[in-house]
Amino acid sequence: MAELPIPDLPPAHCSGRFTISTLLPPLPCMEEGDRGPYAPTEGSGCDSAQPTHLSSSTLCTRTFGYNTVDVVPAYEHYANSKGVGDLRKGRPSLADLHSILKPDPGRFRTPVSDLQQSNGLPEAGPEAGLEEAEGEPGRASMPEPVRFGWVKGVMIRCMLNIWGVILYLRLPWITAQAGIALTWLIILMSVTVTTITGLSISAISTNGKVKSGGTYFLISRSLGPELGGSIGLIFAFANAVAVAMHTVGFAETVRDLLQEHNSLIVDPTNDIRIIGVITVTVLLGISLAGMEWEAKAQILFFLVILVSFINYLVGTVIPATTEKQAKGFFSYRADIFAQNFVPNWRGPEGSFFGLFSIFFPSATGILAGANISGDLKDPAVAIPKGTLMAIFWTTVSYLVLSATIGACVVRDASGSLNDSVAVGSPGCEGLACSFGWNFTSCAQQQSCRYGLSNYYQSMSMVSGFGPLITAGIFGATLSSALACLVSAPKVFQCLCKDQLYPLIGFFGKGYGRNSEPIRGYMLTYIIAIGFILIAELNAIAPIISNFFLCSYALINFSCFHASITNSPGWRPSFRYYSKWAALFGATVSVVIMFLLTWWAALIAFGIVIFLLGYVLYKKPDVNWGSSMQASSYNMALNYSVGLSEVDEHIKNYRPQCLVLTGPPNFRPALVDFVGTFTKNLSLMLCGNVLIGPRKQKMPESRLMADGHTKWLMKRKIKAFYTDVVAEDLRSGVQMLIQAAGLGKMRPNILVLGYKRNWRTASPQSLEDYVGILHDAFDFKYGVCLMRMKEGLNVSQVLQAHVNPTFEAAEHPKNGTGSRAAPGTVDPTTLASEQQASTIFQSEQGKKTIDIYWLFDDGGLTLLIPYLLGRKKRWGKCKIRVFVGGQINRMDEERKAIVSLLSKFRLGFHEVHILPDINQKPRPEHIKRFDELIAPFRLNDGFKDEATVNEMRQGCPWKISDEEVDKNRAKSLRQVRLNEILLDYSRDAALIAITPPIGRKGRCPSSLYMAWLETLSQDLRPPVILTRGNQENVLTFYCQ
């Protein structure tokens, strides 16, 4: 077979942060017809069959020296990976590599241009920049979306959102109250929380590719849809209301300027509304113009704030004029710094935590960059770098401002030029006296209008040019409003696309090259207008701060939780974080929520819990690989290992059931029965034996297992599903009995349906069925057989909806297994099929559960009906216990059983003694039993034992005359018991009875089945034939 010629490949296009260099030169091309030392021979069925259909065969020939189905690592093989085992473009499946390769012209065919991407570099889509897409032939050119770097996209945006009116109007006042030292402590405490949160954001955002959705995306993909969805919704709403808050802050400043010049439009309140509506409309227009225009507006605001800050710093070094001195400004003075270094609490808010609650909102806003993660060139680099740099520079600005203004301005000043006095004048008290000003009178009467403690506009007074501070206030408020106006729709759009909540999908549609959420913008605009019209946001402001703090707490908890679960998928490239610091940040964020406003914190938690409960109830079909999934695995693993170290005790016995359901949807009654008494109590494992060649059945096993599990979940059955491939039913069940379970969570009861067709089934299937019961006893299992008058298997009803591979249990060669057939149904169809209703799903009313505890099997016959009676649907049923006894000792035996049952604390008070259990049954019933076993008799007469053994060699299920005679009494006992059951329990809801055990090697399978048939025939209620393994499952001791 000729090897592929190697065409000249264009040089690989390298982009991104990695450079790949070739260490070895390419191998020389082999001429057509030549054979290398490992070249396969024709017809060998090796990898090189049909090599021209493999997209990377040429490259692999050059790399490895021979043709192979294997491909080199490439970006597209891992992009958008969701679940373990997902097959990606270009990568062959395990079957392609491991099994005989069958030619398939279309299987691996990919465009020629893909060869250029086989160097492992990404062929990026729109979200990654579209760099590679530009040069591809035949692809329609799309306008490149606007992407931002870490400075323009994150740092400037976060700094603008962090800076606000508190910087200008409240920080000088806080410095006067708390002193420079404690103000720095307040600033550093606030920044500690935001820095820890910034480190957590950096870790989460570098643990994989970040898409649009910002805070919601980070939390939901880390903690799952439950917490992520609730935080996403309230965070988007909080941003929308924050637009109104910042806009009203701007409108109030403009209104105050108008009042100073007596130029009000209508009145103070309506002026706020008018200015606010006009302002937010202009901001909406900037946002709708595109992210590029919005970014330019943010840069303009940033420059305005920087100019105002520089203007303030310049003003501090300019010598104070007389007017400024009258207002308390004296330039830098060491004694002013010393006096303002210590606190001077005043008023109702004069406490450390009171001032902390006022300042902390000015440290928030660090999520502004992360919220537009979809518009960043490289979010994994931009979010950590930009967020942390923004925190650093804003912290420096806060510290510098508090220190400089605290060193320049005294706490109290009158503002009156008449208060100037000569230095050292008698009767003058206070620091200003040494500068020639007497503010003693207003300070003692607490009527001073100026000074750090009284005048909010101290920065404007200190600055070189006052109007620039006003411009800075405008820039801070408008930039924050614009950042929130952009953040809210971006976060909400991602939430809408995930469809966690109803009726919001309409707002998820994107427009233009940046997929702008125009509908989301309009919704945010409407919400903002609504709150602007209120014009009084003092009540809602604490709730918004609490919503942001709630987000901080969950981001930190996400980082901690992802770290503590030790998931191999947690591999952030940002290493400078600590899981314990993240936990501390989450705890402190919650504490601060209650310090700010306790009632607002309770409202925030209430909303989060309500939304969390909704998502938990709806169970959206999403799988994001969250840390909650990793935590569930960790907990299950740790508890399972820990359980292995615990010694078993009878008090902790639980019926752990291996249920031979075959496909569970074929025997819903059997599934419902076991699921009823094991739910939230013990292990239930649905076992299925796929009968046939392993090679043929394995694909079916992999395909259908997920569908059966989903079917159980839809039916609300808490059970596992497992299957095995075997040559026959009995060997498959033996595998399940030995291998099912994990550690101490292993089945101890085998539950299966009664074989109704045993008389017409093949003799080997009959032998296998009884052999399964013997195998269960050999492995110390209890056995539970279930018989219903209408049968258990509903596969004929489901034939149009289910996998035709599965056949009924009554198949001549099949008990509970499945045989080969040509087709399969996908798991989604299987899980969505109509659910069959059974008696175990309905209310039983005031019927009876009758227990025939004929043999002491350890108490399992009593335990299962007791557990069933604890469930709501069976709770009204009265439980009756029947035991055998002698007619002359009925009272004594009844008292003994009642005493025993009372010690077991089962609550069974109605006990019946059956004295006539050993009476001879009616002749017609005896005759019916004889007719039942007649087809299975050897009719060997008086032949010797050797002759009988020779006759039975090919048919071990046959019954010899000697065996009929030896077991005559036991057979008649089953006939009589059936008569008693018909007399006493014809109208019961359920009958539980202890069946006889056929001795292995001495009781033919047909005779044993005849006993079970006779015992349970003609009964309307479901019959549960339960036999324990002769070990106690009940105890009346407390230790």
Residues 960-998, buried b or exposed e (16+ Cβ, 10 A)? beebbeebeeebbbbbbbbbbbeebbeebbbbbbbbbbb
pLDDT band for position 464 (50/70/90)? confident
Whether the CB-CB separation of 786 and 864 falls below 8 Å is answered with no
3-state secondary structure of 55: coil
Long-range own/partner contacts, residues 564-570 (CB < 8 A, 24 or more apart):
564/631, 565/627, 565/630, 565/631, 565/633, 565/634, 566/630, 566/634, 567/627, 567/630, 569/207, 569/625, 569/630, 570/207, 570/627, 570/630
> What pLDDT is stored for residue 943 in this prediction?
67
pLDDT reading at 247 higher than 70: yes
Whether the CB-CB separation of 131 and 377 falls below 8 Å is answered with no
**pLDDT cut 70: percent of the chain above it:** 81
For the chain, how far is it from start to end, CA to CA, in angstroms? Answer: 77
pLDDT band for position 499 (50/70/90)? confident
> What pLDDT is stored for residue 588 in this prediction?
92
Closest CA to 768 of 689, 864, 694: 689
- Overall average pLDDT of the 282-293 stretch: 83
Least confident of 31-35, 347-351, 699-703: 31-35
| Token representation of residue 720 | 């596992």
* Range with the largest mean pLDDT of 37-41, 222-226, 488-492: 488-492
Token pair 């987000």: residue: 551
pLDDT reading at 730 higher than 90: yes
Closest CA to 80 of 127, 131, 115, 112: 127
Higher pLDDT residue, 976 or 114? 976
pLDDT reading at 130 higher than 80: no
| Token representation of residue 678 | 């094991």
> What pLDDT is stored for residue 797 in this prediction?
64
- Overall average pLDDT of the 1014-1034 stretch: 92
Distance between CA atoms of 318 and 331, rounded to whole angstroms?
A: 7
Least confident of 329-338, 371-380, 455-464: 371-380
Residue-wise pLDDT for 743-795, tens only, equals 889 999 999 999 999 999 998 999 999 999 999 999 999 999 999 988 888 87
> What pLDDT is stored for residue 813 in this prediction?
35
Distance between CA atoms of 55 and 67, rounded to whole angstroms?
A: 12
β 878-884/910-914 pair status:
parallel
> What pLDDT is stored for residue 832 in this prediction?
64
pLDDT band for position 100 (50/70/90)? low
Distance between CA atoms of 749 and 785, rounded to whole angstroms?
A: 10
What is the enclosing helix (H) or strand (E) of 546? helix 541-564
CB half-sphere exposure, 646, CA atoms < 13 A = 14
- Overall average pLDDT of the 597-613 stretch: 86
Least confident of 428-442, 572-586, 810-824: 810-824
pLDDT reading at 356 higher than 50: yes
β 684-691/657-660 pair status:
parallel
Residue-wise pLDDT for 929-954, tens only, equals 999 999 988 877 666 677 767 776 77
Closest CA to 854 of 987, 755, 991: 991
Higher pLDDT residue, 82 or 631? 631
- Overall average pLDDT of the 503-511 stretch: 81
| Rounded alpha-carbon distances, angstroms, from residue 577 to 143, 384, 570, 581, 828 | 38, 11, 13, 8, 42
> What pLDDT is stored for residue 688 in this prediction?
93
pLDDT band for position 570 (50/70/90)? confident
Mean pLDDT of the chain: 79
pLDDT band for position 160 (50/70/90)? confident
- Overall average pLDDT of the 65-87 stretch: 64
- Overall average pLDDT of the 167-193 stretch: 89
Least confident of 123-132, 417-426, 596-605, 946-955: 123-132
Higher pLDDT residue, 509 or 928? 928
Query: In the chain, what is the greatest distance between 2 CA atoms, to the nearest angstrom?
Result: 144
β 910-914/817-818 pair status:
unpaired
Distance between CA atoms of 188 and 334, rounded to whole angstroms?
A: 23
Whether the CB-CB separation of 570 and 562 falls below 8 Å is answered with yes
> What pLDDT is stored for residue 540 in this prediction?
61
Residues 1005-1019, buried b or exposed e (16+ Cβ, 10 A)? bbbbbbbbbbbbbeb
What is the enclosing helix (H) or strand (E) of 879? strand 878-884
> What pLDDT is stored for residue 245 in this prediction?
82
3-state secondary structure of 912: strand
Least confident of 383-397, 691-705, 962-976: 691-705
pLDDT reading at 194 higher than 80: yes
CB half-sphere exposure, 141, CA atoms < 13 A = 4
> What pLDDT is stored for residue 487 in this prediction?
83
- Overall average pLDDT of the 16-26 stretch: 43
Length of the chain measured in residues: 1039
Higher pLDDT residue, 212 or 705? 705
Gyration radius from the chain CA atoms: 41
Whether the CB-CB separation of 698 and 740 falls below 8 Å is answered with no
- Overall average pLDDT of the 321-343 stretch: 87
